[in-house]
């Protein structure tokens, strides 16, 4: 019998969100297993199934697990000073950054399980957010272990390796199935590899990730930013490239030049700035 969600309870000392920044944090392309239902958000990661509801400025939670609050603290990177990082961004001299920060005050970078983050972004190539979410749910339902509420977690890499490429293709992964299966086989044979990535310096971790099948610079930087908390990783996809070239007048700059601009202009937390810009561009507040 699936477990029931607990009654709503106040998440004391929760991160401070606005309605816009909470929605963007959960649904804006960092993670792909959150959905909005009525007046709350429901999400899954690792063994957790959690519901969150913002009432005025208070955040309430309901869960199926007794350790949900500790898991939420880690997942939302409660120990990270996002307010201080926001203040250190160049919003005082950069009107584009100022617009983004004001629109999504309280935006956070989630600290997701590294293996899940790698899997989800391997699924993401040339896909939109709803398509990536559908793929993740299809793979979880087919191969993942059951969670407390009767839904399914994402499978581990050993399970994916054993399942084979053909089974992955049934989730509409297309050519990505080959890359994901090859990566799964490698990680199944090297179970400590992701732990080593998580502890390595950013440049070294990126170089190692780029050795995996199907991982390019953008995917590697997404994995480092959203799965390892590397705020200096600056993913550049089509959206971000358009923001930099149009809003910042960098037409004709290539990707290495744009990366250099980002490091120089936004500083050591450039990846955090990227998420503000991405959110503001999707919402139409800045040019893209």
**2 vs 208, residue with greater confidence:** 208
User: Got the DSSP string for 102-148?
Assistant: HHTTT-------HHHHHHHHHT-TT--HHHHHHHHHHHHHHHSPB-T
Residue with tokens 């935006």: 107
Residue 64 confidence (pLDDT) = 87
- Residue 94 in any domain: the answer is no
In-domain check, residue 106: no
C-alpha to C-alpha distance for 180 and 169, rounded to whole angstroms: 10
Bridge-based pairing state of the strands 9-10 and 48-55: unpaired
Question: Three-state SS for 35?
Answer: strand
pLDDT at 246: 93
- Domain for residue 276, yes or no? no
For residue 265, being part of any structural domain is answered with no
Residue 105 has pLDDT above 90, yes or no: yes
Answer whether 239's CB lies under 8 Å from 228's CB.
Answer: no
Domain count, the chain: 2
**DSSP per-residue letters across 43-85:** EEETTEEEEEEEETTEEEEEESSTTHHHHHHHHTTTTS-HHHH
- For residues 233 and 109, the answer to whether their CB atoms sit within 8 Å is no
The answer to whether residues 136 and 208 belong to one domain is yes
* pTM (2 d.p.): 0.96
> In the prediction, which pLDDT does 287 show?
87
pLDDT of residue 45 exceeding 90 = yes
Domain membership of residue 178 as a residue range: 114-228
Residue 266 lies in a domain: no
Mean pLDDT of 23-42: 97
- For the segment 222-235, the average pLDDT, to the nearest whole number, is 98
Instruction: Give 134's pLDDT tier (boundaries 50, 70, 90).
Output: very high
Query: Using CA atoms, how far apart are residues 277 and 107, in angstroms rounded to an integer?
Result: 11
Residue 141 and residue 214 in one domain:
yes
Domain with 196 in it: what CATH number? 1.10.340.30
Report the CATH number that the domain containing residue 46 is assigned in CATH: 3.30.310
Q: If you average pLDDT over every residue of the chain, what do you get?
A: 95
Which of 79, 105, 139 is where one domain is finished?
79
Q: Are residues 133 and 222 in the same domain?
A: yes
Could you say which of 173, 203, 228 is where a domain stops? 228
Q: Which of 185, 202, 228 marks a domain boundary?
A: 228
- Whether 87 is covered by a domain: the verdict is no
- Checking if the pLDDT of 218 tops 80, the result is yes
Q: Is the pLDDT of residue 183 over 90?
A: yes
pLDDT tens digit string along 147-175? 999 999 999 999 999 999 999 999 888 89
110 neighbors 25 (Cβ within 8 angstroms): yes
- In-domain check, residue 97: no
Q: Which pLDDT does position 106 carry in this prediction?
A: 97
Buried b (16+ CB within 10 A) or exposed e, 180-212: bbebbbebeeeeeebeebeebebeebbebbeeb
Inside any domain, residue 90: no
Residue 97 is encoded by which pair of tokens?
């950054």
The two most distant CA atoms of the chain are separated, in Å, by 59
């Amino acid at each position: 019998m699936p477990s029931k969600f607990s009654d709503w309870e106040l998440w004391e000392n929760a991160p401070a969100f606005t309605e816009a920044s909470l929605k963007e944090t959960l649904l804006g392309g960092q993670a792909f297993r959150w959905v909005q239902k009525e007046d709350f958000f429901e999400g899954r990661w690792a063994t957790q199934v959690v519901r969150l509801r913002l009432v005025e400025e208070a955040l309430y939670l309901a869960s199926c697990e007794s350790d949900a609050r500790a898991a939420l603290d880690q997942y939302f990177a409660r120990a990270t000073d996002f307010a201080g990082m926001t203040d250190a961004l160049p919003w005082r001299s950069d009107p584009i950054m100022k617009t983004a920060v004001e629109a999504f005050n309280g935006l956070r970078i989630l600290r997701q399980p590294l293996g899940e983050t790698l899997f989800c972004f391997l699924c993401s190539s040339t896909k939109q957010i709803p398509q990536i979410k559908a793929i993740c749910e299809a793979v979880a339902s087919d191969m993942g272990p059951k969670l407390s509420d009767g839904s399914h977690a994402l499978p581990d890499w050993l399970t994916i390796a054993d399942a084979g490429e053909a089974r992955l293709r049934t989730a509409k992964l297309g050519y990505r199935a080959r890359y994901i299966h090859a990566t799964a086989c490698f990680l199944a044979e090297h179970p400590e590899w992701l732990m080593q990535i998580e502890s390595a310096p950013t440049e070294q971790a990126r170089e190692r990730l780029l050795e995996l099948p199907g991982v390019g610079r953008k995917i590697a930087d997404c994995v480092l930013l959203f799965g390892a908390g590397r705020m200096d990783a600056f993913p550049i996809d089509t959206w971000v490239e358009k923001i930099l070239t149009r809003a910042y007048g960098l037409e004709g700059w290539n990707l290495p030049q744009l990366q250099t601009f980002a490091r120089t202009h936004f500083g050591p937390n450039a990846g955090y700035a990227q998420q503000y810009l991405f959110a503001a561009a999707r919402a139409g507040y800045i040019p893209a």
